[in-house]
Every structure is written in structure tokens, then in C-alpha cells.
Chain A
């Protein structure tokens, strides 16, 4: 198997791992305060899959780490102990997961996986031991101690460890101290020929001992060069001659699952881990021809095993992209001996026992989070009461598309919008009688608009993934800082353009860190100031016109005006007397680079980087941030981000020979002013009164320092712009018209100009500058 297509396996592996880790993270975070059985099952299942996949890819450190977490959850699931410190448990699982993530990144980058998971494994083991130590006695130990238990063990040694027979002999000697060995296979271990036999079939031991299963397992597991250990407790001495059963399995994968042979290989690998005697057809799964065979005729597996059927089914059913599964029990000739009872034989290795199998599969089904996990309709050999038998395989509705293709589609969409305008508004068409043309042009425009909406909707991604990351941040910080915070997320299914999401993850993280670190007080301080011990941080997303608002609200101590002013003074940022600064102005200081009022640098904040990242990152996507803070009661940070970057509805205006496009969402109205409504305050600020309200007038030509012929407000046009709760009236020469425009960025050569967010091409090829409305406020 050395020449298998590692690249394609790696791709599948990293995709599946990514999904698993995401699910895992959500499960863990949700269950911090207490794990439900479903969640334990789910985490167990995920860890089991990670372990299996990683082992298949030969990423041993990932595999062993996942294994230890899996063991832990196996115990939780089986014993349901009551004395678990869930916080610590979560810490451990997250630590394990982080380790896996780091190693996974290395694997994706093609580096060697050199991380050492042994520290994490050790702490998980210790934790497990602690739970076990204090837990109710294990069921096996409850049995009367003196009664002898009968065991069957099969030991496999690592490849290339050599002298397997001598090792087997040593094992026998060691075992004789605590158990009475009845028989072993091969019988003559000293004989040279037995080396090959042990290599191939393992070293099988039948023995009796007064010790419980766990003890024996531990004892055997400590054997050096141990590759695999199968240990069973036998019902009675008679059961020792248990006959293996043969099963014939036929599996088909979903039509669109791709790489069926690689999936088949993965399945065989997993089976080989737990079962003996696995044969499969086609034999060479890495061959291209086998891909076709597996795809069309399915994968045939013959299994000869003493393991209960339930265990076999468990593995088979957990296969991803499974479409059809047939399991048939073959009656073999030599089957006249005692039938082992599959229900009684205890489960081991890591395969779950028969009773819990339906439980394990059920949560994944219900949550529907994993579209590729499909339970196959089982064959008639299934137990009639198996709930899985009722389930139908749903078809796959989601495909993954490369983001660069989506970007390209969007660019083409932009070109299409421009060229549509160029055709339908072509100057050569002016003054022509074109009734039919205009009708068809309208139809074309409608189709283009629908197409555009579809393209845009494809790029929309819910904020939930970004928001879930914040859970983790809040949690880790609370643990480290000794704070207690109730973190609530609202509206995480709000959708935003993919490109924008990438830019808000960092700002959001900084704001949340800031809220937990600076905002929320220590529990004792909170109690002293009459608040509940537990702080609260709320992360909320909602749509508001063409924007999405993301609000981070805490009930902490709020921003300290004096402290900020002092710091601003020290940094030489004050430009007028302190008393003249409004609270809003003071609060905006925290977004300046290098501004932190935390006296002590903590591992999370206080270094003065962070909040300025918020404003700069948001500026890139044309967003803004507003702080609202009440001392003693908390702060609220509102991030305002556009739904999409690419295409906006704009009103184009003319001023001084150039054209400017204003996003329609910001325009309240436009009107011609009459002289009697215009007045000037003593500072020379022009104002206009309309419908009983008074607004500031901003002259576009003055704002941009451009010459224009229209200087009289009455001659020009006033456009009322809205930004948050503020409103101004902007003076331009004249309106040109309303149209959709594709936002293009101003070339890099230019420095960012306040009030301009980009540019666009109009239908006639003219360039129009896109107005950044927020730039006209908060001067």
C-alpha cells in the first residue's frame, strides 16, 4: 500500500477532520456546564473517527491523543460517573483538540508531525484515573472476587520487533504469576516456526484468573512492542472453544462521494484495527480500476471473527457516504461447536457494545450537522428492533465550491452589470425611437438583477462559525482570569459576504477580549457593587438596512472617562480642553493605536494593540464601530458592516465636473432648498430647516476641496444622509441618476481619502467616486 495516492487521501482527510473538529468544538462549548448523554456519545464518536482516520494516515500522535480522549468518553458513557469536574474535562478535551489542530496544520502544510501529545495524554489518563478512583466500583469488580474468570487474549506484536516467540514466552511467564494459563496457540512457543505464526495470527492465550477484566487488560497492555491486544472475558470455560463466524458484507458508497476506493481502504483499515480475518474484493484498492468496481459493484468484504455481530455493524454503519450495506452471516461447516452469545461477551477495544449502538448513531442523525453521514438501510439480517432499520438515506444537497471560483463569478457578474449599462445607455441610442429595445432591455436588466442576487446569495455565509470561536475565547479567558461570565449569542445565523467575514473575525475577538478583560469585574467586586456575581457578555448580530450590526454588550464597569482622558493627555492626543470633549469623543479614543488604560499587561489585553485593529480592519470592508458606555453599567460596541462589498445600489451626483456615487441605503431624501430655510450660525456653520427639523449642511466641494460652479445652495441639490442616529445634508451640483454600481477599489498608489470608499465605472465608461457616508460624520 506504499504507493497509494496520499495527496487525495490527505485532501479528504483534512476536509473531514476540519468538519469533525468544528463539530467537536461546538459540542464541547455547549456542554461545558454539564454533558448530556447525547453529547458524550457525539464527542466519543467524533474522537473515534479522528483516531481511525489519523491512524490510517499514519499520524500516530494525533491518533494516540484522540484515543486517550476517546477512552475518557468511553468511560463517561459507560459508567456515567457523577463526580466529574466538567470544567476540567472541557479543559482537557480542548487541550487535546488544540494539539490535534496544530498537528493537522502541520500535516496540511506537508511538514512532519513532530508534536508530542504525551503530556496531554498523561493528564487525560490521570483525570480518568481520578474519576475512576472515586467512582462507584466498576461492575466487573462487583462480581465475587474469588470466582475465577476465563479470558481469551490475542496478542499481536509490532512489525519488525523480532523474536516474537521469545516475547510470547516471556508473556506466559509473567502471566503465570496472576493467572492460570489453560492453553495457548501456537502451543510450542520455543519452536522457531511459531515466530511466523505469531506474526500472522497473533499469540492466542486462554487462561483463568481471579482478577477482573480491567486488571488483566492493564497487565497485558503493558507488554512491550505490543501492537494490538484483543482480550475477552469468556462466559465459562466451555466458551473457550468459541468458533469464529463468517460474515459476508457488501457496501456501496454514495454516487457522488468520489474516491470510493480510498474510502473503502479507510474502512478496511478500521476493520483491521478491531477485527481479525478481514478479506476484501477488489483486493488492490489503490488501483484505478478498483475505483470503478467499488463505485458500481460495491466493496465486498469477508470477515471471519469471533466478535459479536453488533460490533461489526457498528464499524460498518459509521462509514461516511455509506449508501448500501448488506451483512450476511455465513453458516460454516465447522459451526457445530458452542455458539457464543454476542450480547454477553463484553465489548472491548473501543468498539461500543450492542446496547449503545443505536444511541451512538442517533445524535448525529438528529442534529443533521453532518450531511455526508448517512445511515444505510440495513439488510434483513438486522435485528428487527433496530431503529436504524427505519431510516432512509437522504440525498446530498450541498456541494463545496472553491472560493476563487465564486470570486471569479462575482467579477464576471460585475462586468456584466457594467456592460449591460454600457449597452442600454449607449450614447448612440439617444434620440432614437426604440420602443421594443427598451422593453427587451428592461427584461435583460431584470434577469441580470436576479442573477446577481443569486450570485451574491451564494457568497453569503452565516456568522455562526465566527461566533462559535468566541465561545472558546470567553471560556478560556474566564478560566484564566478567574471571572465568571455568561456568554450569550443571538442571531448567529445572520449572513454576511464571505470576504467580509474574514475581516471581522479579528476585530470581534479583540472586542470580546476587551469586554471580558477590561469590562467585566472580578466576582467579588461585582458583588460589592450590587451586581450579580456572574457577568454577562452578549454577542448579537442583526440586519439593519444594507448593513449588518454586530453588537457586543457587557454589564461590566464601563469605560472610565477620566482614565481615558488622562491617557490621551499623556499621549498628546488632546486638541482642546478636557471638559470640551463629549463622552462619545472620549470613547472613540480607545480605537487609536497604542491606547490601553489597563495598567497591567495581561495575556489577553493591555498591550495597546487590539482596539485599533478593530477600526482599521473594519475600515477595509467599509464598516465602522461605535461605543456606548455607561460607567458602572457596562459598554456596548456596535460594529456596522456592509452586507456585501461588491455591488451596491447608488445615486450618482455631479459636482465640479466629476461624478460621485452615494449608496442609496444611506440616503433619506434629496431636495432643492429655498433661501428662507437656510441660515448660518455665528461660527459660519450652514444649516437648513426642513419639515421642522434642522440639519447641518456639508458642501461636497468644500469637503473635498474641489472647485465647482454651483456655490449657491438654492441652485444645487441637497441630499440628506443618515449614519446611525445622525443626519446631515450634503450639497452637490445636480443629480445624475440611480443605478447599480460595481465597487472597485481605488488603486493602491493612493492613500485613503476620508469620505471616499472606492470608485466605479458608469455605463458610459466614466469613473465615479463612491462616497463613504460615515466619513462625513464624526469629524
Chain B
């Protein structure tokens, strides 16, 4: 019995560690967040092979320890000015349903908890190009985190 309880406890803990937890990163001055459950890993920039015929924002493919995955430049995806990659630039590898994709971001911040009551839907009125990838907005004491809609983002 006791072992059952502890297993259950453990599962709850695992769930708790991902619930309301977001990986945050920066693009320009904005702070964005991704649900931690979808984030596989964060890697530094590695050589990217361009695939001819793909859209501008799709940087190409990388060799992630033998797996080939696609990489998207989030800046370009959001229609922002491209910026030269530096030592801060990172690739966040996300896994969503059957897709595994790398997202190039300016820099990675921290993993933080944003409670449900501090998360609200974005203003629906203006659906600008950027706005359609934002699912929710998280309120922080010193600003906001734009929480990304990964499904939308992956729809090439």
C-alpha cells in the first residue's frame, strides 16, 4: 500500500513540475513563454543546412545526434528584423505531437511558474501577424510574458 501511495505521489510531483511552468526566452525586448512540457532541450547554435525551396523563416535542418530536425528562426517567423547570431543565440528544441522542431531565439531566460489566475487571453480585436501565434498573456509583477501557441507556430 505504502509503495502505491508513494508512486502516486511521485506522479503528482511530475505533473506538478510541468504544470503552469513556462520556458521563457527573449526576442528583441519582448519576453515569450513556451509550456515546459513541450520543450525537449536547449542547444547552442550549430551549423544549419538550408533546404532549397523552403520559406525564408525556415532556416534549414540540423543534425541533432543523428536525428535530422527542422529549424525555424522565430524572429523571421514573427516578421521582425533578422539579427546576426551571437553567443546568446539558442535553439529551443520542441516536440509537439509528431513534430520535432528547433526554434532559434535571441536568448533563453529562465523557467518560471505563472499561475493560471495570472494568465489571460490576448485582446481579440486585432489579429496582427504576431498576435496569431500568441495564445495567452501571462502577467508578471514587472511586465508580461507572451505565451506562444505552438500548434499555430508549427503550421508551416
| Interface set of A (CB-CB < 8 Å, partner B) | 415, 418, 658-659, 703-706, 744-751, 753-756, 759, 761, 765-769
Instruction: Name the interface residues of B83-138: CB closer than 8 Å to any CB of A.
Output: 98-101
Q: Is the CB of B66 within 8 A of A415?
A: yes
A743 to chain B, nearest CB (A): 11
- Select one of B50, B52, B69 contacting A747, CB under 8 A: B69
Q: What residues on A are CB-neighbors of B52 within 8 Å?
A: 703-706, 753, 755-756, 769
| A751 near B53: Cβ-Cβ < 8 Å | yes
Bound form: Cα–Cα A755–B52 in Å: 9
Q: Is the CB of A658 within 8 A of B49?
A: yes
A/B interface sample: 25 pairs, CB < 8 A: A415-B66, A658-B49, A658-B50, A704-B52, A744-B68, A745-B68, A746-B68, A747-B68, A747-B69, A749-B70, A749-B99, A749-B156, A750-B51, A753-B53, A754-B53, A755-B52, A756-B51, A759-B61, A761-B66, A761-B68, A766-B47, A767-B62, A767-B68, A769-B51, A769-B52
Q: A759-B68, A761-B63, A767-B68 are in contact. Are A746 and B50 (CB under 8 A)?
A: no
Residues of chain B from 137 to 156 with CB closer than 8 A to chain A in the complex: 154, 156
A-chain residues with CB within 8 Å of residue B69 when the two chains form the complex: 747
For the complex, what is the distance from the CA of A618 to the CA of B52, rounded to whole Å?
A: 22
A322 → chain B closest CB, angstroms: 48
Tell me, in angstroms, the Cα distance from A557 to B138 when the chains sit together.
Answer: 69
Is B51 within 8 A of A746, CB to CB? yes
Cα–Cα, bound, A744→B69 (Å): 11
The complex places the Cα of A409 from the Cα of B139 at a distance, in Å, of: 51
- Per the bound structure, the CA–CA distance linking A356 and B60 in Å amounts to 71
Chain A nearest CB from B80 CB (Å) reads 21
CA distance A754 to B52 in the complex (A): 9
Total of A-B residue pairs, C-beta within 8 Å: 71
Cα distance A747–B49 in the bound complex, in angstroms: 13
- Closest Cβ of chain A to B64, distance in Å, is 11
> Quick one: CB contact mask for B55-88 with A, threshold 8 Å, 1 for yes?
0001001110010111010000000000000000
Query: Of A706, A744, A747, which contacts B100 at CB under 8 A?
Result: A747
CA distance A749 to B61 in the complex (A): 10
Nearest CB of A to B111, in Å: 25
Given A766-B63, A769-B51, 14 more pairs with CB closer than 8 A:
A658-B49, A659-B49, A705-B52, A705-B53, A747-B100, A749-B72, A751-B156, A753-B54, A756-B53, A761-B66, A766-B47, A766-B49, A767-B49, A769-B52
With a cutoff of 8 Å between Cβ atoms, the chain A residues found around residue B49 in the complex are 658-659, 759, 766-769
Whole-angstrom distance between the Cβ of B93 and the nearest chain A Cβ:
12
Whether A750 pairs with B58 at a CB distance below 8 angstroms is yes
Residues of A within 8 A of B100 (CB): 747
User: When chains A and B are docked, how far (Å) is the Cα of A768 from the Cα of B63?
Assistant: 10
Determine the chain A residues whose CB is within 8 A of the CB of B53 once the complex forms.
704-705, 751, 753-754, 756
Q: Are A746 and B61 in contact (CB under 8 A)?
A: yes
Cα(A151)–Cα(B69), bound, Å: 80
CB distance from B95 to the nearest CB of A (A): 12
Interface on chain B toward A: helix, strand, loop, or mixed SS?
strand
Chain A nearest CB, measured from B71 CB (Å): 9
- Is the beta-carbon distance between B99 and A706 smaller than 8 angstroms? no
Distance between Cα atoms of A418 and B70 in the complex (Å): 20
Q: Report B-chain residues with C-beta under 8 Å of the C-beta of A745.
A: 68
Indicate the member of B47, B51, B98 with the most A CB atoms within 10 Å: B51
C-alpha gap A768/B49 in the complex (Å)? 8
Is there contact, CB below 8 Å, between B70 and A750?
yes
- Sorted from nearest, which 7 A-B pairs have the closest CB atoms? A704-B52, A753-B53, A767-B49, A749-B70, A747-B70, A744-B68, A767-B63
Q: A704–B50 Cα gap in the complex (Å)?
A: 10
Bound together, the chains give a CA A766 to CA B70 distance in angstroms of 14
A747:B63 contact, CB within 8 angstroms: no
Q: How far is the CA of A628 from the CA of B34 in the complex (A)?
A: 55
Docked Cα-Cα span, A703 to B47, in Å, equals 23
A756–B54 alpha-carbon span in the complex (Å): 12
A415, A706, A744, A768: the one contacting B50 at CB < 8 Å is A706
B51 smallest CB distance to A (angstroms): 6
Instruction: Considering the complex, give the chain B residue whose CB is closest to the CB of A768.
Output: B49
Our pick among A415, A749, A766 for the contact of B101 (Cβ within 8 Å) is A749
Asked if A747 and B61 make an inter-chain contact with CB atoms under 8 angstroms apart, the answer reads yes
Query: Smallest distance from the beta carbon of A731 to chain B beta carbons, Å?
Result: 15
Whether the Cβ atoms of A418 and B99 lie closer than 8 Å is: no
**CB proximity of B15 to chain A, nearest CB, Å:** 29
Inter-chain CA distance A418–B63, complex, in Å, is 13
- Smallest distance from the beta carbon of B36 to chain A beta carbons, Å? 22
Assembled-state Cα–Cα distance A754/B54 (Å): 11
B62: A residues at CB distance < 8 A = 767
Q: How far is the CA of A108 from the CA of B54 in the complex (A)?
A: 44
Do A748 and B98 touch (CB < 8 A)? yes
Provide the residues of chain B in CB contact with A704, threshold 8 Å: 52-53
CB distance from A89 to the nearest CB of B (A): 50
> Which residue on chain A has the smallest CB distance to residue B101?
A749
Q: Across the interface, which residues of B come within 8 angstroms of A767, CB to CB? A: 49, 61-63, 68
Produce 1/0 per residue, B30-59, CB < 8 A to A: 000000000000000001011111100010
Tell me the minimal C-beta distance from A3 to chain B in angstroms: 31
- Which residue of chain A is the closest to B48 with respect to CB atoms? A767
In the bound complex, CA of A706 to CA of B54 (Å): 12
Cα distance A769–B68 in the bound complex, in angstroms: 11
Residue numbers in B under 8 Å from A744 (CB-CB): 68
- What distance in Å separates the Cβ of B39 from its nearest Cβ neighbour in chain A? 17
A759 to B61 CA separation, bound complex (whole angstroms): 9
Docked pose: A768 CA to B72 CA in angstroms: 19
Cβ of B54 and Cβ of A751 under 8 Å apart?
yes
> Once the chains are docked, how many angstroms separate the CA of A756 from the CA of B51?
9
Q: Which residues of chain B are near A753, meaning CB under 8 Å?
A: 51-54
Distance of A767 Cα from B62 Cα, bound (Å): 7
Give A658 Cβ to nearest chain B Cβ, in Å.
6
Residues of chain B within 8 A (CB-CB) of A750 are: 51, 54, 58, 61, 70, 156
